[in-house]
């Protein structure tokens, strides 16, 4: 038996190309929780957990993820069969509630290590890729209309993105809507425009705003109302001329089931971190497909490791009706991989090597990790 021998974790702080404004937080840098899993045969796997804005977005922060991996998950998995992912993850589920970001990092690292041993890509371990690349939307989040238009024009010229999401909800609705309308008018039919409200509106505001946004040509409206109010989301979805997407409302497979049963949204955002890993997110995807719900490959603004883990999972799906948003590495000025992800012709291309298909740049990792020293979490 090849057993799990060691887990090493560290926090990695990477600068962003610009401030990234959301309804609840403005991101000035991104902190990754990097997990390196070592097995008894010497094989290793990488995993990543990344949140948005510390505790501003979700109930896990980089610091809590690292602590829980070190203190609770590591003792549960060390000595376990590294090839039996079902048994390992079930063992974790029985003893650790929630903490899906930490679980996602662990599941990714297990899959990466298994892929290294077997010479198979992570997508192949998940059943096989049916797409070699995923079209990627770009988020315009400077909050400045002229800057956002110029940024979108540059992305179109570079053939990097032709779908654009606008982060709104922090300002007065009328001001936000005017901002979106101006950008859509400038881009015209050359690009699609979507919005993400990040739960900022009441039901009444959402009903009026969705109509105005649809009239302006906005194609998709993400999580306009608070995540817990499923009935409000369903009522807004029923009356909105533009499709509404559930995002924060999905934090587990039971959440997805409840939303599907309530007919709360015609589109679901898929995020490996919020459901507990690449295998876990595919359960949500398959449930949504069975219910006739469209799919969108979401992001927690992960770095390259988390982004490619998501891409491997999403590439096994026959289609992503609303494409993906896996642009996280492009928001960062630095990378910790030898070869960063490849974006070309509006797509993120999947690596072809075993596991995730990536290699760490150890020197750059040493420079950007918060502790700047080797951290041994646990040994067998």
In a domain, 380, yes or no: no
In a domain, 162, yes or no: yes
**Number of domains, the chain:** 2
Torsion angles phi and psi, residue 161, rounded to 5? -145, 145
Active-site hit among 167, 184, 271, 274: 167
pLDDT for residue 56: 76
pLDDT for residue 351: 97
- Helix, strand, coil percentages for the chain (3-state, nearest 5): 40, 25, 35
pLDDT for residue 142: 86
**What are the tens digits of pLDDT across the range 114-146?**
999 999 999 999 999 999 999 999 999 888 999
One domain for residues 337 and 366 = no
CB 211 within 8 A of CB 240: yes
CA–CA distance, 160 with 152 (Å, rounded to integer) = 10
Residue 325 among the catalytic residues: yes
One domain for residues 60 and 87 = yes
Active-site hit among 248, 251, 302, 325: 325
The backbone region for 232, taken as left when phi is positive above 0, alpha when psi lies in -120 to 50, beta otherwise, is alpha
pLDDT for residue 143: 87
Percentage of the chain modeled with pLDDT above 70: 96
pLDDT for residue 377: 40
DSSP state of 121: B
Which value, to the nearest 10 degrees, does the dihedral of the CA atoms of residues 320, 323, 325, 326 take?
70
Tokens of 328: 């996280």
One domain for residues 216 and 365 = no
CB 53 within 8 A of CB 23: no
Q: Is 335 exposed, middle or buried (0-12, 13-18, 19+ CB in 10 A)?
A: middle
Q: Is 285 exposed, middle or buried (0-12, 13-18, 19+ CB in 10 A)?
A: buried
Helices (H), 55-172: 62-68, 74-77, 85-95, 100-118, 122-125, 145-157
One domain for residues 94 and 230 = no
One domain for residues 29 and 107 = yes
Residue 67's domain comprises: 4-119+360-374
CA–CA distance, 182 with 191 (Å, rounded to integer) = 13
One domain for residues 89 and 213 = no
DSSP state of 93: H
CB 234 within 8 A of CB 263: yes
Report the chain's terminal Cα–Cα distance, integer Å: 14
CA distances from residue 360 to 69, 82, 303, 311, 338 in whole angstroms, order as listed: 20, 21, 12, 18, 6
One domain for residues 135 and 89 = no
pLDDT for residue 374: 44
Q: Which residues pair with 13 in a beta bridge?
A: 31
One domain for residues 112 and 205 = no
CA distances from residue 284 to 197, 271, 365 in whole angstroms, order as listed: 22, 9, 33
One domain for residues 368 and 337 = no
Residue 304 sits in a domain of what CATH number? 3.20.20.120
In a domain, 379, yes or no: no
One domain for residues 181 and 307 = yes
In a domain, 354, yes or no: no
**What are the tens digits of pLDDT across the range 275-289?**
999 999 999 999 999
One domain for residues 87 and 202 = no
Q: Which regions of the chain are under pLDDT 70?
A: 20-26, 373-380
Tokens of 68: 């829980």
One domain for residues 243 and 327 = yes
CB 25 within 8 A of CB 53: yes
CA distances from residue 250 to 206, 237, 253, 276 in whole angstroms, order as listed: 19, 16, 8, 12
Residue 36 sits in a domain of what CATH number? 3.30.390.10
pLDDT for residue 126: 98
Nearest to 212 by CA among 176, 265, 247, 171: 176
């Amino acid at each position: 038996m090849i057993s799990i021998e060691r887990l090493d974790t560290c926090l990695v702080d990477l600068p962003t190309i610009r401030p990234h404004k959301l309804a609840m937080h403005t991101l000035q840098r991104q902190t990754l929780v990097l997990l390196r899993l070592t097995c008894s045969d010497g094989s290793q796997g990488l995993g990543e957990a990344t949140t948005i804005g510390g505790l501003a977005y979700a109930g896990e922060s980089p610091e809590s993820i690292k602590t829980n991996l070190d203190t609770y998950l590591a003792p549960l998995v060390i000595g376990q069969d590294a090839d039996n992912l079902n048994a390992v993850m079930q063992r974790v589920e029985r003893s650790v509630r929630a903490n899906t970001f930490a679980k996602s990092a662990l599941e990714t690292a297990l899959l990466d290590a298994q892929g290294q041993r077997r010479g198979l890509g992570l997508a192949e371990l998940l059943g096989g890729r049916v797409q070699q690349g995923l079209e990627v939307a770009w988020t315009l989040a400077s909050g400045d209309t002229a800057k956002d238009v110029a940024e979108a024009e540059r992305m179109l010229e570079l053939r990097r993105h032709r779908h654009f999401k606008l982060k709104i909800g922090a300002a007065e609705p009328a001001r936000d809507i005017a901002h979106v309308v101006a950008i859509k008018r400038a881009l015209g039919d050359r690009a699609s425009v979507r919005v993400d409200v990040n739960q900022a509106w009441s039901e009444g505001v959402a009903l009026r705003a969705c109509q105005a946004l649809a009239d302006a040509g906005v194609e998709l409206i993400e999580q306009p109302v608070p995540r817990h109010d499923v009935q409000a989301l369903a009522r807004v979805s029923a009356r909105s001329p533009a499709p509404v997407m559930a995002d924060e409302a999905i934090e587990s497979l039971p959440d997805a089931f409840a939303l599907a049963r309530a007919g709360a949204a015609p589109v679901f955002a898929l995020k490996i971190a919020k459901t507990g890993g690449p295998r876990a997110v595919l359960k949500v995807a398959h449930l949504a497909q069975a219910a006739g719900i469209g799919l969108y490959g979401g992001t927690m603004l992960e770095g390259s490791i988390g982004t490619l883990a998501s891409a491997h999972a999403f590439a096994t799906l026959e289609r992503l009706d609303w494409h993906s948003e896996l642009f996280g590495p492009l928001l960062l000025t630095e990378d910790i991989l030898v070869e960063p992800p490849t974006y070309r012709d509006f797509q993120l291309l999947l690596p072809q090597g075993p596991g995730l298909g990536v290699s760490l740049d150890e020197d750059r990792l040493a420079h950007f990790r918060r502790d700047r020293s080797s951290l041994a979490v646990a040994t067998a």
